[in-house]
């Protein structure tokens, strides 16, 4: 038995089998140390005459999570992964990959370069590189199609989704029924190795582009153009896989390398890699640390079984946490519970849940009209009408009935949580949990810390979010918090452009071409124009100095054109349809309002002007939010926008997009419109102090620290 010094890969020889065990916690990221360990191990095994076969495996519950993406920034990369894989594939002794857990990205590419692969039935593997705006760059696009069929290889590489090993019979030589049998099955497999098939190099398999395969490619291209509109890497992935069918292996690898670099050098790859880290960084906040205690959340109550209350309750039931719903009237309670059941039944009809799961989730939900029933809950989330007086009454009642230490949360979208907290004797336990609609679907949760919220309560809520599969971002108290506060100038500019002569379709198209899932007018119609109307009514002190603010939208609401729900809003809708139909009457209304308010209409509003005014205004507000410390870091804002508003992930979020464009450019363009638009420009398009400062310094939002 010999042992190398490499800490990332243990080397051990037993009965003629050299085992290279990757042991670099937490996920065997293929860092330089691990790559060196693999190369050295293979060489050692080849040079040891007593070794007849080599096993590559892992000491962790995962085979390997793939590349060490912190290395994307550069540094000493030799030996690179393709070199390691070449060494493995060309080894003169059989190399068997034994997967005791999932293999992703470079991890799966290691397994594909081995001569044999063994795993267990319940395992998954995948090539998720496309999610980072790149493609598998260590032979994955060449070796996977040689072992699986074209459809499977393309689907895995283009979607990046993990796949059950049972769907990959060509990839695995042996699939144990249980992980416990893996060792025994590996021994038997090794004993059976011999003869010409002992060294089975994936690269020796030759593929040709048959008509049938060509048809698969055509279909995947068409599907990808639709499903991944705006993304660069997915079509490059297909190009790389095509090389496996049309080029010799070596040339296919070179083609893959060239396409990999093309992807790597795009703003999209930078954006998607930024977002990968942004999402993880959102969970790291300075308000608590390891020593901060956490409270147990075993029982939850929701006040108000309306649109939001019902959706929020479903998140907890889905996670197996019992929920009590409280309404003042039995009828409203039953209506809320019935709607939840209907939602679950719909999921069951679509095959997403079994009837048994529907019943077990419903069994976790109970209803009450009596506050005394909430005396033992650990967390209460209030989702009643958006009125301060109503909320205060609810919170003072909760203060009276809830046990000490219970967390009292509000789902308010706009109200001041500090003020809500004053209605209790325990402001340290009061917090905002701002879910997005539909609350059972949208992944974002803004966790809003009020002035007196304790670190313990913040920590508990951030951890709880993970249990209910939400992406939590910690924010501070201000009107609209981060997401809705930034959407306000975005909507304001869109409405102003309508008044100045742009059509809703033009504005919406600019934003959907940018990558937003829908434009601001379609979004307004979906949310209900009345919502914005009431917000404007309640914020007169902030907007009354601009009599044209939201003027067209106000007139529409006064005409009962509230959006999709009334069949007419900024657009018209056929009964039962969500497809917006442009309405010339809206342009007439805009024209009349412009005349009434003395706003000059122009026919020369360009797409660029629309993008700059709408999107850069949103970014400018983001800068104010950063400067005020409402968001702790710009990447938190990006996470909120991607998960809460469908901001295109290939742009990384609004602040990453701004950094990519360059803050000086953002500042220059915003200033140009501020100056061109006279009084209006002065009122609303003033660049924030932080934007000016960072642009002057040549800085970026990403590196800004308050």
Report, as residue numbers or ranges, the catalytic residues: 109, 129
Specify the residue, 161 or 387, whose C-beta has the smaller distance to ligand NAD: 387
Our finding on whether 384 is near ligand NAD (CB under 6 A) is yes
Supply the DSSP symbol for 579.
-
Residue of the chain from 193, 383, 612, 690 that contacts ligand NAD (CB under 6 A): 383
Would you say 682 and 674 are in contact if contact means Cβ atoms under 8 Å apart?
Answer: yes
List the interface residues with ligand NAD, window 469-528 (CB under 6 A).
none
How far apart CA 105 and CA 98 sit, in angstroms, is 16
Specify the residue, 332 or 518, whose C-beta has the smaller distance to ligand NAD: 332
Piece of the chain touching ligand NAD by CB under 6 A; list 156-164, 382-390, 631-639, 681-689: 382-390
Our finding on whether 159 is near ligand NAD (CB under 6 A) is no
List, edge to edge, every strand of the sheet that includes 163-164: 103-104, 124-126, 163-164
Site string for ligand NAD, 396-415 (x = CB under 6 A): ---------------xxx--
Beta strands in 548-590 (DSSP E): none
Specify the residue, 308 or 594, whose C-beta has the smaller distance to ligand NAD: 308
Smallest distance from the beta carbon of 675 to ligand NAD, in angstroms?
A: 37
- CB contact set of 397 (below 8 Å; sequence gap of 6+): 371
Residue of the chain from 51, 121, 198, 332 that contacts ligand NAD (CB under 6 A): 332
How far apart CA 568 and CA 561 sit, in angstroms, is 5
Residue of the chain from 327, 399, 583, 593 that contacts ligand NAD (CB under 6 A): 327
Residue of the chain from 37, 128, 309, 501 that contacts ligand NAD (CB under 6 A): 309
List the interface residues with ligand NAD, window 418-447 (CB under 6 A).
435, 437
> The tokens of 369 are what?
């009209």
For the chain, the residue count is 706
Site string for ligand NAD, 553-592 (x = CB under 6 A): ----------------------------------------
Specify the residue, 277 or 534, whose C-beta has the smaller distance to ligand NAD: 534
Piece of the chain touching ligand NAD by CB under 6 A; list 119-127, 202-210, 278-286, 322-330: 322-330
Specify the residue, 253 or 394, whose C-beta has the smaller distance to ligand NAD: 394
- CB contact set of 685 (below 8 Å; sequence gap of 6+): 613, 617, 620, 670, 673, 674, 677
Piece of the chain touching ligand NAD by CB under 6 A; list 3-11, 220-228, 324-332, 559-567: 324-332
Smallest distance from the beta carbon of 486 to ligand NAD, in angstroms?
A: 15
Residue of the chain from 230, 385, 585, 588 that contacts ligand NAD (CB under 6 A): 385
Specify the residue, 221 or 328, whose C-beta has the smaller distance to ligand NAD: 328
Smallest distance from the beta carbon of 225 to ligand NAD, in angstroms?
A: 32
Specify the residue, 402 or 685, whose C-beta has the smaller distance to ligand NAD: 402
Residue of the chain from 8, 134, 264, 305 that contacts ligand NAD (CB under 6 A): 305
Can you say whether residue 673 is alpha, beta or left, with left for phi > 0 and alpha for psi between -120 and 50 degrees? alpha
Smallest distance from the beta carbon of 172 to ligand NAD, in angstroms?
A: 46
Smallest distance from the beta carbon of 510 to ligand NAD, in angstroms?
A: 25
How far apart CA 328 and CA 334 sit, in angstroms, is 11
In DSSP notation, 77-103 reads -PSPHHHHHHHHHT-SS-EEEE-SS-E
Neighbours of 580 (CB within 10 A): 22
Smallest distance from the beta carbon of 338 to ligand NAD, in angstroms?
A: 12
Binding-site size, ligand NAD (CB under 6 A): 22
How far apart CA 358 and CA 294 sit, in angstroms, is 31
How far apart CA 409 and CA 422 sit, in angstroms, is 13
Supply the DSSP symbol for 414.
S
Quick one: 78 exposed, middle or buried, by C-beta within 10 A (0-12, 13-18, 19+)? exposed
- Summary count for the chain: helices (H), strands (E): 29, 17
Residue of the chain from 297, 308, 461, 632 that contacts ligand NAD (CB under 6 A): 308
How far apart CA 573 and CA 522 sit, in angstroms, is 11
CA distances from 694 to 347, 621, 659, 706 (A): 48, 14, 10, 12
How far apart CA 312 and CA 306 sit, in angstroms, is 10
Smallest distance from the beta carbon of 394 to ligand NAD, in angstroms?
A: 5
Residue of the chain from 205, 209, 328, 478 that contacts ligand NAD (CB under 6 A): 328
The residue nearest ligand NAD at its CB is 306
CA distances from 497 to 501, 537, 610, 659 (A): 6, 21, 7, 25
CA distances from 698 to 661, 664, 667 (A): 12, 8, 12
Residue of the chain from 306, 322, 567, 582 that contacts ligand NAD (CB under 6 A): 306
List the interface residues with ligand NAD, window 617-676 (CB under 6 A).
none
Quick one: 508 exposed, middle or buried, by C-beta within 10 A (0-12, 13-18, 19+)? buried
Specify the residue, 29 or 415, whose C-beta has the smaller distance to ligand NAD: 415
Our finding on whether 68 is near ligand NAD (CB under 6 A) is no
How far apart CA 493 and CA 491 sit, in angstroms, is 6
Specify the residue, 131 or 413, whose C-beta has the smaller distance to ligand NAD: 413
Specify the residue, 308 or 599, whose C-beta has the smaller distance to ligand NAD: 308
Can you say whether the dihedral through the CA atoms of 651, 655, 657, 660 is positive or negative? negative
Smallest distance from the beta carbon of 116 to ligand NAD, in angstroms?
A: 53
Smallest distance from the beta carbon of 542 to ligand NAD, in angstroms?
A: 18
Binding site for ligand NAD (CB under 6 A): 303-309, 326-328, 332, 383-386, 390, 394, 411-413, 435, 437
């Amino acid at each position: 038995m010999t042992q190398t010094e490499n800490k990332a890969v243990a080397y051990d020889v037993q009965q003629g089998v050299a085992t290279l065990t990757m042991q670099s916690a937490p996920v065997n990221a293929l860092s330089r140390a691990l790559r060196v360990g693999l190369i050295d191990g293979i060489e050692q095994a080849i040079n040891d005459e007593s070794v007849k076969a080599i096993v590559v495996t892992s000491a962790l519950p995962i085979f390997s999570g793939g590349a060490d993406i912190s290395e994307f920034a550069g540094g000493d990369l030799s030996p690179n992964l393709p070199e390691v894989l070449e060494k493995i594939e060309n080894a003169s002794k059989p190399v068997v990959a034994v997967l005791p857990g999932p293999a992703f990205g470079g991890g799966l590419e290691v397994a594909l370069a081995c001569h044999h692969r063994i795993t267990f039935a319940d395992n998954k593997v995948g090539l998720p590189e496309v999610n980072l705006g790149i493609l598998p760059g260590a032979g994955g696009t060449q070796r996977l199609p040689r072992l699986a069929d074209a459809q499977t290889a393309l689907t895995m590489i283009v979607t990046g989704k993990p796949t059950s090993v049972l769907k990959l019979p060509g990839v695995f030589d042996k699939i144990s029924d249980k992980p416990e049998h893996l060792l025994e099955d590996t021994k038997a497999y090794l004993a059976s190795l011999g003869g010409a098939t002992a060294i089975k190099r994936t690269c020796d398999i030759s593929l040709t582009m048959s008509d049938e395969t060509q048809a698969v490619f055509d279909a995947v291209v068409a599907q990808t153009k639709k499903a991944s509109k705006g993304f660069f890497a997915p079509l490059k992935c297909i190009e790389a896989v095509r090389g496996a069918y049309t080029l010799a292996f070596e040339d296919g690898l070179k083609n893959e390398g060239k396409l990999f670099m093309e992807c790597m050098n795009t703003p999209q790859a930078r954006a998607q890699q930024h977002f990968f880290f942004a999402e993880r960084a959102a969970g790291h906040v300075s308000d608590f640390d390891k020593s901060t205690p956490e409270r147990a959340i075993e029982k939850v109550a929701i006040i108000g079984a309306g649109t939001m209350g019902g959706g929020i309750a479903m998140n907890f039931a889905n996670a197996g946490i019992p929920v009590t719903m409280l309404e003042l009237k039995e009828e409203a309670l039953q209506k809320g519970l019935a709607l939840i059941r209907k939602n679950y039944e719909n999921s069951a009809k679509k095959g997403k849940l079994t009837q048994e799961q529907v019943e077990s989730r419903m069994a976790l939900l109970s209803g009450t009209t009596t506050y005394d029933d909430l005396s033992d809950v650990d967390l209460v989330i209030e989702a009643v009408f958006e009125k301060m007086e109503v909320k205060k009454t609810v919170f003072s009642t909760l203060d009276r009935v809830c046990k000490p230490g219970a967390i009292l949360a509000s789902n308010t979208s706009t109200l001041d949580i500090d003020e809500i907290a004053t209605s209790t004797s325990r402001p340290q336990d009061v917090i905002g949990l701002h879910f997005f609609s539909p609350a059972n679907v949208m992944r974002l949760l803004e966790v809003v810390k009020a002035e007196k919220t304790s670190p313990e309560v913040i920590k508990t809520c951030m951890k709880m979010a993970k249990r209910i599969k939400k992406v939590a971002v910690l924010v501070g108290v201000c009107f609209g918090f981060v997401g809705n506060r930034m959407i306000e100038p975005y909507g304001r500019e869109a409405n102003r452009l309508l008044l100045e002569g742009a059509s809703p379709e033009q504005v919406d198209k600019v934003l959907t071409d940018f990558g937003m899932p829908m434009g601001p007018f379609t979004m307004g119609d979906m949310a209900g124009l009345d919502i914005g109307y009431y917000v404007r009514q309640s914020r007169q002190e902030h907007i009354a100095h601009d009599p044209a603010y939201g003027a067209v939208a106000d007139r529409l609401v006064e005409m009962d054109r509230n959006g999709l729900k009334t069949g007419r809003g900024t657009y018209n809708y056929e009964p039962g349809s969500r497809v917006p139909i442009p309405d010339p009457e809206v342009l007439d209304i805009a024209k009349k309002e412009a005349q009434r308010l003395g706003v000059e209409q122009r026919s020369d509003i360009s797409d660029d002007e629309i993008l700059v005014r709408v999107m850069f205004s949103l970014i400018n507000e983001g800068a104010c939010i950063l400067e005020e410390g409402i968001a702790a870091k710009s990447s938190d804002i990006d996470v909120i926008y991607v998960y809460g508003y469908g901001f295109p992930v290939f742009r990384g979020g609004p602040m990453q997009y701004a950094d990519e464009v360059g803050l000086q450019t953002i500042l220059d363009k915003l200033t140009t419109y501020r100056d061109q638009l006279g009084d209006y420009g002065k009122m609303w398009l003033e660049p924030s102090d932080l934007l000016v400062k960072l642009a002057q310094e040549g800085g970026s939002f990403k590196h800004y620290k308050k």
